[in-house]
Every structure is written in structure tokens, then in C-alpha cells.
Amino acid sequence: MILPSDDDSAPSDAPAGPLAGIRVLDLSTIVAGPLGAALLADLGAEVLKVEMPGEGDHIRQLPPHKDGISLWSKVTNRNKRGVTLDLRDPRGRAVLERMLPSYDVLVENFRPGTLAAWGLDADRLRKLNPRLIVTRVTGFGQTGPYANRPGFARIFEALSGFVNLCGDPGSPPTFPGVPVADVLTGVFTAFSVCAALVQRNADPAGEGQEIDLSATEAMFRVMDFMAIEYDQLGKIRGRTGNLNAYSAPGDVYRTRDGKWVALAVSAPAVFRRLATAWQRPDLLADPRFVSNADRLSHREAIEAIAQAWFGERTLVEASSVLLAHDVSFSPIFDIRDIFNDPHFEARKAIVSVKDDQLGWVRMQGVVPRFSKTPGRVWASGPEAGQHNADVYGAEMGMSDSVLQELREKGVI
């Protein structure tokens, strides 16, 4: 069982990491933009989450919930402080304009032209803060015929070609159980912001820039060789189920005790070790299996051997043999397995953090790890508007009467 560590009990207002000192204004919603901002926060950036008064970020409406509290938001908006502000109201935009000069980065995922329609076009933002890095996260980019289409992760996964690869041959395309496109776009968001910060900070007088990040293009980018393969070979890949499209044997195997195992034999040396582990040196001389290309050409035969070997052994028995011969494999874990796995525990891949609503909660740790300036999880996602008084009152100097008026008008 993973309990709160010394780091987990540190003060809740203590962000740390290589991005300490960077200030980020997160206007985005749901997953992609907020996750990108959270990754920056994990590494020490001071991130302020801005939500609509009343309804808040729509992620709060998505399951899972506990006692009506969004668990997803606790992770995607972790390490952030939170305020509410209606940017559709001129008074709300006036508050935002007061805030912008003190921030390094703005992350937004409105449809293209939305901020401009509210009077916050690129020229206005640049005038308010010439060094501001504006990251625009959208489904299809700021330009092109699809720019103003609505979209969510499933749309980007479908359009990018990703889903066409997922599922069994002859079956409908299969979506993954998590919004992969949103998650990948979040990673691209954090990566692109860091790159822009390096460029800007190289010159003390350097100006910021705009980042046009398309979730569809982010998803398409990680398809890697698919485009050049089609360009040069005319090949259109389809669904192969659990079979590894690039090496054999490579499938999901059921053990005698009903467990599932994944096997990866992508390098010649690994197949040699696998044949030794199976006590089948004859496979190394069999012309059907000499090279990876040969094994792919005779996939059915090598997969039958693999299925039979695993089917005759329990997971513990198969694992013992494969580990002894340095073969790359893994049992297929569910989340309970991960919580109880000694490697995840030794790495502190799951950390505990105190939440104002739920008490101690556990979630993933910071990735990656820095030797000199490690990041940390210091707070779970805030309630909508949790820090209104701190930010608007104590830090921006708004009087209680002004704050009350803004509340009554629904601006905050």
C-alpha cells in the first residue's frame, strides 16, 4: 500500500522544479490544454486555472465522480490554483487584461477567432504583454477548412488514421479506453511551451510568440512512418488485432491460469534468447524463423508455438523462465495490479497528496525526473474559484466590495 511520503506532506503552496518562476494562465478546458498546463505545473510552473463561474470546466461533468466531486479534474488540474472569470463579459476581460502582463504563458483552446471576437486579438495580447507566449490548442489548427469544426479526442483519433489501425481484422475500428489524442496533445502543449520559453529567454528583450497546436496533427505525428510508407510503398495499413505489425512472435497470450501476457521480440538477440528459454534451439535453424522478416512471413506457425508454450504454463512459471533468459514480456496489468506492483512502489510512481474535499488521494507522480530540480505533486486540482479571494483580493488588490459586485453580476 502506498502511503503519504515525506515529500507528500510538504506545504501545499510549494511548487518546485526546473520551471519554477514561470507563470502560466490556463484558460483551456476538458483535457488537452489543461493537461499540458498541468505538466508544466508538475515541473514547477505557477499555473492559474481560469474557469467559467457556475458551470466551471466541463471536465467536472465527466465521470468518474465521488460524492459529486470530479476525480478527473483532481488530476488534470493538479498543481494549479483556480479562479472563476467570465471572459464573455467586458468586466471579466478587463480583469484578465490586468493579469496578463504578469504571466509568461497563456494556454487557450477556444475555437479560432474567439478571443479576437472578444477584443483580445494577437495585437492586443502583444500590446498588453510583448513577452507573452500564447498557446492555441484546437482540434484542427487555426487555419484550413476544418478550423472551425467542433471536435473531441475521438474525432482527432479517427481523422489522424490512428483508429483505423485499432481492432481485429474484419471488425469495426476500435477506440482506446482513454482519450489518447487529448493526452498526446497535452504533452505537445507542454513541449512546445518549453521550446518557446527557451527561444524567448535567450534574449532578455525577446518577445513571445503564438503556438498553433492541432490535436489532429499531434495524433498524426505519432503515426511516425505511416505517411512515408504510403508515399514510398503505397501501403495502407489496417487492423491486425493484438498482433505486432513489425515483429513476430508478438501477440497477447493466455497462460494456463487464465492470465494474459504481452511479448515483444523486436531484436534478433531477443528471439535467440526466447528460443533458448523455450528449449527450442531448432527454431534458430528453421528457415521459416531465421530472420524477423521470415517469421512475419510465417507468422501463423510461430504464433501457434508461442500460444502453446504459454498455455502450458501458469503466469508465475512463464515469468520465471522468461526473466531468467532476459526476454522482454509483461503481464497485462489493470490498475489494481499497478497499485500493488513493487516496481511502481519503489519508483514512487504513485504519490499521495492532500485534497481539501477528499482527504488524501493518490495519483501518478511527476514524469520525467530531474536530478537537480525535481518537480513534485503539491496539490490536487482546485475547486472552481477556490482561490478567487487570494488572487483577486490579496494579490490584485481588489476590494471586498468590488469582489462582491463581480460575484453578484456573475463575472467571477
List, by residue number, the catalytic residues: 182
HSE-up (13 A, CA, CB side) for residue 407 = 13
Grid cell digits, residue 396: 490584485
Asked if residues 72 and 377 have their Cβ atoms less than 8 Å apart, the reply is: no
- Residue 67 phi, psi (nearest 5): 55, 35
Provide the residue count of the chain.
412
**Closest to 289 measured CA to CA, from 312, 307, 265:** 265
DSSP code for 178 = S
Spell out the residues 6+ positions from residue 86 whose beta carbon is closer than 8 angstroms to its own. 52, 53, 92, 410, 411, 412
Grid cell digits, residue 378: 503539491
**Closest to 306 measured CA to CA, from 263, 345, 339:** 263
Alpha helix segments (H runs only) across 207-290: 215-221, 226-233, 268-277, 282-285
- Tell which phi-psi region holds residue 325, choosing left (phi > 0), alpha (psi between -120 and 50) or beta: alpha
Asked if residues 51 and 385 have their Cβ atoms less than 8 Å apart, the reply is: yes
DSSP code for 173 = P
